[in-house]
């Protein structure tokens, strides 16, 4: 069954995924910026520099081939709330970067992670929709892993 389009999604242009986390914002920020925590949900190998001219490098094992490298160069960072990156996969199909923003907002007893990625229309027409759909699935799966990882850590600390 196909996943319904979410509020904030425009196929081939932008996507949004929101996830509630049972963590205060400052702890959730660590899950977005510390390599050893990012490796539990976002990628297999991570390099991070959160400075104003920093970057994020994600390496993920390929399901059917070589690993995939993704790079984000910081556009804006407002710790511990928001990190916007010029984000692209390092392969021949990505001729332009998308804008990926991770934003945290306090909500009852925790926070909400808002993942907003836009600019897919700047990719070639032949890959834009395919890449958009791949990242729509990717962020949903990654957030499920993030929730599981934070829960496991909380259980072991209790």
Reduced to 3 states (helix: H, G, I; strand: E, B; else coil), residue 143 is helix
| pTM as predicted | 0.91
Cβ atoms of residues 133 and 140 within 8 Å = no
Angle between helical axes of 25-33 and 125-157 (0-180°, round to 10): 120
Q: Is the dihedral of CA 116, 74, 147, 145 positive or negative?
A: positive
Token code pair at residue 14: 């932008």
Which CATH code fits 14-157? 3.30.530.20
3-state helix, strand, coil in the chain (%, to 5): 30, 40, 30
| pLDDT tens readout for residues 45-86 | 999 999 999 999 999 987 777 899 999 999 999 999 999 999
Overall average pLDDT of the 125-135 stretch? 88
Token code pair at residue 129: 């929709």
Domain locations in the chain as residue ranges = 14-157
């Amino acid at each position: 069954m196909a996943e319904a389009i979410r509020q904030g999604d425009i196929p081939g242009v932008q996507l949004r995924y929101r996830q509630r986390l049972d963590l205060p914002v400052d702890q959730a920020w660590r899950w977005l910026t510390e390599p050893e925590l990012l490796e539990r949900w976002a990628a297999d190998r991570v390099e991070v520099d959160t400075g104003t001219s920093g970057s994020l490098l994600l390496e993920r094992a390929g399901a059917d081939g070589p690993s995939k490298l993704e790079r984000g160069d910081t556009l804006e960072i407002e710790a511990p709330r928001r990190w916007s990156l010029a984000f692209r996969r390092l392969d021949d199909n990505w001729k332009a970067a998308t804008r990926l923003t991770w934003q945290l907002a306090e909500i009852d007893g925790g926070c909400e992670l808002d993942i907003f990625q836009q600019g897919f229309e700047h990719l070639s027409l032949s890959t834009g929709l395919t890449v958009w759909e791949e990242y729509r699935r990717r962020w949903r799966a990654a957030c499920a892993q993030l929730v599981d990882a934070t829960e496991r850590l909380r259980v072991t600390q209790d």
